[in-house]
Amino acid sequence: MNRRKKINQLLKANAKKASAKLAPKSKDKYISKADRLKLAAEAAQDPVVASES
């Protein structure tokens, strides 16, 4: 691989990484199973507390 091709390859790779950072994320942030259970428990408790008062 000659020097010019190698430099172009590096520049293209860096440009691709930069544009990927700017692109909107298609996936939601990962939430662990324990955190999901905790959130579900809190959500289940909140309506009960609100209906009692």
Average pLDDT of each block of 10 consecutive residues along the chain (53 residues)? Answer: 94 96 85 94 72 53
Give the pLDDT score at 27: 80
What is the rounded CA–CA span in Å between residue 19 and residue 52?
Answer: 51
What is the rounded CA–CA span in Å between residue 51 and residue 48?
Answer: 5
What is the rounded CA–CA span in Å between residue 6 and residue 16?
Answer: 15
Q: Which residue's structure tokens are 């091709």?
A: 5
Tell me the whole-structure pTM to 2 decimals: 0.45
What is the rounded CA–CA span in Å between residue 26 and residue 49?
Answer: 35
Give the pLDDT score at 53: 52
Give the pLDDT score at 49: 47
